[in-house]
Amino acid sequence: MNKKLVGVCGRFAVTAVALIILVPSAGRASTQSGAVHTFAVQADTYVSANAPSKSYGSQPSLKVERMPKIAYLRFAVSGIAGPVSGATLRLYALRSNSTGFDVRGVTNNSWSESSLNYTTAPPAAQQVAGSSGRLTASAWTSIDVSSLVSGNGTYSFALKSSSSSSIVLASKERGSATAAQLVITEATATSADTTPPSAPTNLTASGPTTNSISLSWSASTDDTGIAGYRVYRDGTLVTSTAQTSASVSGLSCGTSYGFAVEAYDAANNVSQRTSKSASTSSCPDTTAPSAPTSLVKAGSTSSSVLMSWAASTDNVGVAGYTVYVDGTRVGNTTTSYNFTGLACGMSYTFGVEAYDAAGNVSPRTTTSASTSPCPSGPRTYYVDSVGGSDLNAGTSDTSAWKTLAKPNTASLAPGDRLLFKRGDVWTGELRHAGGLVRRARGRPGGWLLLGRGRDHGHR
């Protein structure tokens, strides 16, 4: 096959200098709007019914007439980026002709100009794509074949005529300056934009939940306008939007992700990506603390019990303990609690639960313990105006009361005794529950015993 292809579109050789003058606007499609591409014919020949087995592919001319003689031309179209707005077949007439020829499409592109003859010629379409009209000798004629050319690909055309005299056109063997051409114009709107948008800025992640994060960013700019944005999560496209924000869902709790956003325009020119890392909210705590252990009585009085226990553990952290006495909640604390207001000599069931900040509660640990026995027999109280204190319990010489106010208001039972430090001085009356204390007598150990409780034994 003779493939002496002379392409003007971005790959013309020195032999095509003359064509630059003929088609000055030829250039690269991707950088011009309404770019024009000119393609030199790839193969051309004609067939004749007078010599059905003869091939004319190497002849310097193409002949067309009613007899019939039919010319075939083939073009290879490439480098068209966008839609085609127009296609023109150009042929150089060597003789004038008043009738001219019609152009039809040929779907079979596998023919060879060196072997094509009338017998083997592929059929031409019934539909006429365009007509040349009158031909002038030594001049170009142009036929609109836009209906046959849609973009890149191979195209074959058949030229037929009702003229009784031969139409004679230049074939490529006559020279590249007069060889047939197919001139294709790209649509303007979609051929112009090769400039990508600017990268989105100020990418911000906000409002994290356990499974979603909101993203927002400042709009990109573009010479022809932003068509939209694509959002990526760890490099995987997750959504496209025309807005400048997006919510990415389906995430895992307590996890860091790398997000990126890019802008694109109508021609799908894509900006650089802007990225940002962000984490979802921490996973919810649904695990309860362990039950407290080693719950024991650490001390007691006749009206209180001090309980202590070993700390519970938790996947996040123990926030506190709830304590119970005989099933009644009485308060929160750390790893000990002093239960007060109890009756003397009684057994109680003490319980404790651990809880965490999410409100998960451990099983309750319980144990029984008793208050100290109830006091029995007469009680003795001490009053010391020098070394005592009314904040003391008054039940021993080292915890003596100080003033008369305490013995005057103390709840005394029959047989109870009040001991006053010998040598001390008190001002005022010593009274108790309506009756004066009457008797006093000395006693070893430096204390003065005053009276007997039976003198005012009512309560």
Binding residue for Ca ion (CB under 5 A) from 65, 222, 262, 353? 222
In whole angstroms, the minimum distance from the beta carbon of 357 to Ca ion comes to: 8
Considering the complex, what minimum distance in angstroms separates the CB of residue 160 from Ca ion?
A: 18
The answer to whether 353 contacts Ca ion (rule: CB under 5 A) is no
Positions 249 through 278 that interact with Ca ion (CB under 5 A):
265, 269
Among the listed residues 130, 190, 136, 137, the one whose alpha carbon sits nearest the alpha carbon of residue 160: 130
Q: How far apart are CA 311 and CA 334, in angstroms?
A: 8
Smallest CA-to-CA distance from 353 within 312, 294, 395 is with 312
DSSP 19: H
Classified as helix, coil or strand, 355 is strand
Q: Which is nearer to Ca ion, 60 or 207 (CB)?
A: 60
Check residue 200 for interaction with Ca ion (CB under 5 A): no
Q: Is 44 in the site for Ca ion (CB under 5 A)?
A: yes
Q: Does 416 bind Ca ion (CB under 5 A)?
A: no
The C-alpha torsion from 28 through 31 and 34 to 37, rounded to 10°, is 10
Closest approach of Cβ 244 to Ca ion, in Å?
A: 17
Taking CB under 5 A as the rule, does residue 314 contact Ca ion? yes
In the complex, minimum distance from the CB of residue 189 to Ca ion, in angstroms, rounded to a whole number:
12
- The single residue listed with the structure tokens 């006559």 is 174
In the bound complex, what is the minimum distance in angstroms from residue 173's beta carbon to Ca ion? 5
Q: Which two tokens stand for residue 365?
A: 């640990």
Nearer to Ca ion, 57 or 130 (CB): 57
Least distance CB 315 / Ca ion (angstroms): 5
Sequence-separated (6 or more) residues with CB below 8 Å from residue 268: 227
Q: Which residue in the set 223, 234, 326, 390 belongs to the binding site for Ca ion (CB under 5 A)?
A: 223
Distance CA 261, CA 237 (A): 9
Task: Read off the amino acid at residue 288.
Answer: A
Window of 191-199, 229-237, 243-251, 403-411 that interacts with Ca ion by CB under 5 A: 191-199
Closest Cα to residue 106, out of 94, 90, 91, 120?
Answer: 120
Minimum distance between the CB of residue 355 and Ca ion, rounded to whole angstroms? Answer: 9
Closer residue to Ca ion (CB): 223 or 326: 223
Q: How far apart (Å, rounded) are the C-alpha atoms in residues 123 and 413?
A: 135
Q: Which part of the chain contacts Ca ion (CB under 5 A), choosing from 27-35, 47-55, 281-289, 391-399?
A: 281-289
Task: In whole angstroms, give the CA distance from residue 268 to residue 289.
Answer: 56
Nearer to Ca ion, 112 or 367 (CB): 112
| CA distances (Å), origin 118, targets 92, 164, 262, 399 | 23, 18, 59, 137
Q: Nearest distance from residue 197's CB to Ca ion, in Å?
A: 6
Contacts of 427 (CB under 8 A, 6+ apart): none
Q: Which is nearer to Ca ion, 300 or 322 (CB)?
A: 322
Strand stretches in 145-272, DSSP E: 153-160, 167-170, 181-186, 201-206, 213-218, 226-233, 236-241, 245-248, 256-265
Near Ca ion by CB under 5 A, which window of 116-124, 151-159, 205-213, 280-288?
A: 280-288
Residue 383: closest CA among 414, 408, 412, 404: 404
Part of the chain binding Ca ion (CB under 5 A), chosen from 77-85, 192-200, 229-237, 290-298: 192-200
One-letter amino acid for residue 13 of the chain: A
Query: What single-letter DSSP state applies at residue 423?
Result: T
Between 272 and 304, name the residue whose CB sits nearer to Ca ion: 272
Rounded to whole angstroms, the Cα distance separating 35 from 185 reads 6
With residue 409 as reference, give the H or E element that holds it: helix 405-409
62 vs 419, beta carbon nearer Ca ion: 62
Using CA atoms, how far apart are residues 165 and 47, in angstroms rounded to an integer? Answer: 15
388 touches Ca ion (CB under 5 A): no
Q: What is the dihedral of CA 281, 282, 283, 285, to 10 degrees?
A: -130
Q: Which is nearer to Ca ion, 311 or 430 (CB)?
A: 311
Q: Is 316 in the site for Ca ion (CB under 5 A)?
A: yes
Contacting Ca ion (CB under 5 A), which of 287, 294, 313, 409?
Answer: 287
Contact criterion met (CB below 8 Å) for 302 and 296: no
Candidates 79-87, 233-241, 296-304, 350-358: pick the segment binding Ca ion (CB under 5 A). 350-358
Span interacting with Ca ion, options 29-37, 220-228, 330-338, 410-418, rule CB under 5 A: 220-228
**Is residue 384 a contact point for Ca ion (CB under 5 A)?**
no
Map the footprint of Ca ion across residues 111-150, applying CB under 5 A.
113
Single out the residue of 132, 171, 274, 365 in contact with Ca ion (rule: CB under 5 A).
171
- Least distance in Å: CB of 114 to Ca ion? 8
Q: How far is the CB of 414 from Ca ion (least distance, A)?
A: 58
The site for Ca ion (CB under 5 A) is made up of 44-45, 57, 113, 171, 193, 195, 222-224, 265, 269, 285, 287, 314-316, 356, 360
